Structure 1
Amino acid sequence: MNAVVSAYLLRENTIKSRVNQLANLTVILAEHTLQTIYSAKIALDSIEDVLRVSNIQTEQDYRKFAGQQQQFDLLQEKTKSNPIIDVATFVGKDGEIINFSRSYPPPKINLADRDYFQWLSTHDDSDAFFSLPVQNKGNGKWVFYLAKRVSGSKNQFLGVILVGVSVEVFSNLYERICSSLGNGSSVTLYRKDQRLLTRWPFVDNMIGKRGVYRHQRVIFG
């Protein structure tokens, strides 16, 4: 009987220890997520500040301003000074990239099919839009975007500014922290609508899907 009781108590203590470990891990992952998103949003806001002081009134003003070499230098500075930023971009009202941090002048890429563009082009929304992950049209990496609407003097839609964050920023951290959890363990990052932004182990065909899975979860947005 004593052996049975001891074994039961050991099992209960092990379960309690495991629960505490997972609770602490959730806090760590949530803090990292918030800090990363905050850092990306600061970069996006700083680009918006440059636009604001430039007194952009019309589409012509915006395209002329955004297409300059000086703005390419600005976008490059944002990505070089913040390692989590994969790309920073000025987008026109037609979805065409006007300028971005990877090359100047930019290649011909149209982003009108992206969720952030479709939302911001039809909604006078001043908040940052958190996109679903997509494979970047520039380099093929899985990236999700923080985007803001650019409006003219009459609140007309002029385009979008955005910064991209590679999902590897999160999945690599999850692997480093959580690989000791044991076989079958996984960690996921969801948007608040339950769409999956990234996970470890990484599975391509799960990205962007909605669902609830039995694993460690972090939700933001």
Structure 2
Amino acid sequence: MKRLPITFWTTLFVTLVCVALVALDFQRSWLARKALLDQTTRNATNLASAMAGHADDTLRAADTSLADLEERIEVDGTGTPQLRRLHGLMATHVRALPQLNGLFFYDAAGRWIVNSFGAAPPGANNADREYFIWHREHRQAGPRIGKPFASRTTGKWVIPLSRRVDKPDGSFAGVVLATVDIEYFRQFYAGFDIGGKGAVALLTNEGTMLVRRPYRQDRIGSSIAHTPLFRAYSRVATTGTGMFRSTQDGELRLNSYRPLRTYPLFVTAALSTEEVLAHWWRDTLMRTAGVLMLAGMLALFGWRLVRQMHRRLQAEQELREARDALASLNATLEKLALQDGLTGLANRRQFDVSLGNEFSRATRHGASLGLAMIDVDHFKAYNDHYGHSAGDDCLRAVARAIREHTPKRAGDLAARYGGEELAVLLPNTDVAGTEAVAERMRAAVAALRLPHAGSALGIVTISAGVAAQVPRRGIDEAGALVERADRALYRAKAAGRDRVMRPVDLPPG
């Protein structure tokens, strides 16, 4: 075989260095982008947490005033002296709580009985308000947050927080109402640094917009129930993050959403990805241009080096040694390519090669070839509960137990077949022998007593399907053996897991 000239290997080496330089720069930029988005996610999460706490505290203070008024009306009644005291108490609460626009009490017909402002407008009646109708038709106790509206008294947009008032016999006696000024939330949200294209909002669990920054009055009370953000929140109804394009202005934002602890509302804090990544883009483009220039210079110098190699024997010898070292490294990498990096077992590639070789050998010699397919029970639940790092540790421990109980004969092979599925190839072994080996492996894994909250047994277990056959030339294929072991594995799972089973066409014994 004709040896390649040293100039070829040198050119290849320079090319690889240039490509590696560009690839490393790309990786660094990508990791920097990921770190920036992760930090943005944390910032949005912290912002949502602050908003949720503020909204909870704001509404709880208003609700405390309502509960006090409700109790006084139900216990003391609504005589003239009592109403006079109620008016004074309402005015005191409104002065003490800057979020309150006003406090009101309406009787069972919706008439204004007393409020924090003083005299009621002539003929004023709130029986048509959504919150009043709801309380009249529902006997549930406790506060209710209704749809925002413009106050008939002040003209301000407010969020209604109301409670039902009952007569001594439990029948409907009216409603006490606290109107929370939306401007109070707007002023609080104005203090957040969310950039020029960020957005924050307070919404009901049904998707009704209460407050939003940037502020648009025509959006108050509108619904976002059709948006990807609300669909994501409604699926979990808990804290979460996601990247969504706004249906309000088309801006792509990284959103963090969080429910309030006490009230059926949630908040969302969204930061514009365009703004967040603007500096990263500038930095990346400048650095990439520099890297490309450096790679071009390196390629130029490499080309000049190749020309000099024809005149310098010593340089040729050094490059030959570099070529030999590169060949040795390639051989090492090829060896490592047959091993699974996580478990240390053979990888799928080596398993497929070994299966083909052993199947051919068993066909020639008329010997039985056994195969066990093994799966870690409820591994997805394990990952979800303990995290992927713990999941990797679990797979290593299971693989170690299987390797220790794999026979050490020539041709015996334990491999990672894919994900949490492992395979053990056993030449010259019938189904009973394969089943015995798999049972020892199952018992060894169970003996590890690895905790598993997602399993009914409380520990990590494995299920195994075993099969064996004496291949017939021109009739049987290696894939059929894998399929039979796989079917047996599904039987083991269906039968309750933590067991070893054969295919249905192989009875026990």
> CA distance change for structure 1 residues 66 and 19 in 2, over 3 Å: closer, same or farther?
farther
Secondary structure class of the residue paired with 1:198: strand
Match of 2:64 in 1: 42
TM-score, with length taken from structure 2: 0.39
Offset from partner CA, 1:104-144 (integer Å, 9 cap, x none): x2223221111110011122221211111100000111101
| Mapping 1:69-108, distance limit 5 Å | 69-103=84-118, 105-108=119-122
Secondary structure class of the residue paired with 1:172: helix
Identity %: 24
> CA distance change for structure 1 residues 124 and 155 in 2, over 3 Å: closer, same or farther?
same
Structure 2 gaps, min length 5:
1-21, 230-245, 247-252, 265-509
> CA distance change for structure 1 residues 66 and 123 in 2, over 3 Å: closer, same or farther?
farther
Secondary structure class of the residue paired with 2:190: helix
Match of 2:35 in 1: 13
Alpha-carbon deviation of 1:181?
Answer: 2.1
Offset from partner CA, 1:147-187 (integer Å, 9 cap, x none): 1111112222121111111112222211211xx32232111
> CA distance change for structure 1 residues 140 and 112 in 2, over 3 Å: closer, same or farther?
same
Higher relative contact order (CA 8 A, sep 6+): 1
| Mapping 1:105-120, distance limit 5 Å | 105-108=119-122, 109-120=124-135
| Mapping 1:14-29, distance limit 5 Å | 14-29=36-51
Match of 1:203 in 2: 216
**AA of the residue aligned to 1:161:** V
Alpha-carbon deviation of 1:49?
Answer: 2.4
Tell me, in whole angstroms, the C-alpha distance in 2 between the residues paired with 1:159 and 1:66.
Answer: 19
Specify the structure having the higher radius of gyration (Cα).
2
Secondary structure class of the residue paired with 2:191: helix
**AA of the residue aligned to 2:64:** I
| Contact residue 74 and residue 168 of structure 2 kept, 8 A | no
Tell me, in whole angstroms, the C-alpha distance in 2 between the residues paired with 1:83 and 1:218.
Answer: 25
- Tell me whether 1:146 sits opposite 2:161 in the alignment: yes
Alpha-carbon deviation of 1:7?
Answer: 2.2
Compute the RMSD of aligned alpha carbons: 1.9
**AA of the residue aligned to 1:42:** T
Match of 2:328 in 1: none
Tell me, in whole angstroms, the C-alpha distance in 2 between the residues paired with 1:124 and 1:140.
Answer: 30
Match of 1:59 in 2: none
> CA distance change for structure 1 residues 52 and 96 in 2, over 3 Å: closer, same or farther?
closer
Which is richer in helix? 2
> CA distance change for structure 1 residues 183 and 125 in 2, over 3 Å: closer, same or farther?
same
- Tell me whether 1:137 sits opposite 2:152 in the alignment: yes
Tell me, in whole angstroms, the C-alpha distance in 1 between the residues paired with 2:59 and 2:111.
Answer: 25
Structure 1 gaps, min length 5:
57-61
Tell me, in whole angstroms, the C-alpha distance in 2 between the residues paired with 1:188 and 1:82.
Answer: 22
| Contact residue 191 and residue 219 of structure 1 kept, 8 A | no
